[in-house]
Structure 1
Amino acid sequence: MDKFDLYRDIASRTGGDIYVGVVGPVRTGKSTLIKQVMQQFVIDGIANPDDRSRAIDEIPQSADGKTIMTTQPRFVPNEAVRVSVGENIAVNMRLIDCVGYLVDGALGAEEDGKERMVSTPWSSEDMPFSKAAEIGTQKVIKEHSTIALAVTTDGSFGSISRQDYVKAEERVISELKECKKPFVIVLNVADVNAQSALDLKDELEKKYDAPVIVKNALTLDENDISEILETILLEFSVKTIDFDLPRWVQALPMDCDVVREIVDRVKNMLDDIDKMRDYDKIDAYFENAEFWKQPSAISLDAGKGRVQVKMATGDDVFFKVASEQCGIDVKDDFDLLCELKTLCKDREKIQKIQSAMEQVETLGYGIVAPTLDEIELKEPEILRQGQQYGVKLSAKAPSLHIMKVDVETEVSP
């Protein structure tokens, strides 16, 4: 997808406000990812120099090690900035960093052997750092973001093992699914080509039924960001599915087998098509169909949440249905054309007497007037009467006179 089309479609689905919640366990690289997105994508698109300078100052810090760097949710930039991402395409953009759910082995949650107490805008009293981290993360997930990136890691950088991240990771993704927020999972790894990372990607996709993108947050570039946004665009829900059927199908009654088959298969399909990425499941619902081929084309209008499916019937279905519906034997185009020519002639005859039959029904008597080609003109005759001359014209033509009569009969023993 062209990147400008991508940004336009996302802006359309989010109402022009792209607020990206970056969530996940602590120490997975969330702040690093935000830093790269700001530097590679957001900063250059800010036209106002003051807004650009402020946005640069608000880029979060990131560092290696076990220590938690983010202590509270923060908006980056603090206020949404207008970002131009193409001709006539501008969006309100900001990313939302959060502490994330705590994991074993991370430092910064305790101080002098006791749980660290912090002040928050959600309470007049200090609260434990772990509780503040949970509340802040939940607010980012449920309230502040329009789309989300769930960042996790394979443990290939730092000294915290992969296993220590699993519980917090499961919780984040469960909450994202619960609030039906469009999201993708970003698997932050040291080596994006490592087989272990690719195996973990497959494992997470099966486990969470969500797309997983393997990236190194430190080396994220504009193409990587476009890939992430394009993937998340397919996580928006489907609004409409349009089926483009052959026009002749519209002439069939609902109880026709051809119509009934596609209606039944579409009904069965709808429960399985929720997100835009589910479009690739449509083909399977038309396997082994009696009358319909699998879709000849499926197109997406991601900005409107529309899936358009072009359908076609089997090769001989039209002639079979035409024979059944019309009561004539049509095997191919030749038979069809011959029958049409015959029907056209019969139609002319019917149209000729139609008005007379209507008169009969209302008045009891009707006349079928002759047509011009039925009139037989006789040769004109010159007549003389005294000093005067004249021309006698005469013609004849067939005419039908139809009378409505009631016929009664009785058979008596």
Structure 2
Amino acid sequence: PPGFHDSPTLVYEVAHSVLLSHAYSVQRFRELNRVVLSSRKRMGIVLNANQFHPLRENNIEDAEAAERAMNFEFGWWLLPLTSGDYPPVMRERVGERLPRFTAEQTALVKVSYDVLMLNHYFARSVTSCDSEVSNTPCSSLHVGFGQDKGVDDTHIEPGSRPGLQDSQGNNYCKSYTAYPPGYLDTIKWMHAKDPSAEILLTENGWCGNDEVENLDQLWFFQSYIEQVCKAVVEEKIPVISYTAWSFLDNYEWGSYGPRFGLYYVNFTAQTGSVEGYRPKPTDLQRIALPSAKWFSKLASTGCLDELTETDAVAAIAMRAAVRQGSPVIAATRTATSGLLSTGMMIVFAAVGTAMLVATWRRRQGYVAIPRFSVN
């Protein structure tokens, strides 16, 4: 459970109970199929999974750490559904502290889904906690799950796009990074465990802070849906649907700060007050972000905009250039005042050019998404 880190067994017992509760619930719904559910129903359990890659390329220990992290984070929940038991590496490292399924429970859990469902947000580079490049000593990891997994997962995947501060200096999205290829790798990892199962992508989105002109969110959805397209067209994986998180900004993770919505919501200082309040007509206004407009066009045309990177470069450069302490500005501050002015002129000229190119290329047409049907 969140906040409980000192037990070597509790987290495993809770997860075991969740899986069994799910399996018995599915069994009961199937018994009531003719009364409660239509013949076209689909049941399953939504699993959240990040992607882990080796920190050092071609390093065997890091490759093992990455696969171990995938099994502890994702396989822990997925393999009981597809194979009837927890991953072998968990059995090896956790030992008798890891609960066991009875034969009856194995039979129930193993068939407790009609479709696989996946939430995904980011990827990390990992190494073993005891490696020479680890930033996280094994002794600093939480007793139980953390030490059993035994990896340092604090390294940002090379090529990732970081969550940025908003115009007010807030950094609610500090821990969110975007690495689109990791999405495809996660889908492939899930698919490999049951190639016959269809996959429903249930949650995927970008933490955008307090920004209405959130162009990096637009880049996120363009880039990640491109990975979904690759999964279907190139990898022949039966992905049947994709769901963006989320339609509106909402209360999550203890605050209204992290904003994932396709529609910006004008929260006020009174929003969420324990005393309650009656919103004014101007409160809680919903404003369509660039991503909402893009999704509308995607839904109506069935075509992906081919301009992903140009928009992203323009958006990130512009945001960096106008923020205090940004890499662009910080670098130019080390020069003379004359060089500072020249550097800023170059930055804004480059940004302006990128924006013009983005606008022009966006109007040149769209690339059709290969269509597929589900019988």
What TM-score does the superposition give when structure 1 sets the normalisation length?
0.25
Structure number with the higher strand fraction is 1
What TM-score does the superposition give when structure 2 sets the normalisation length?
0.27
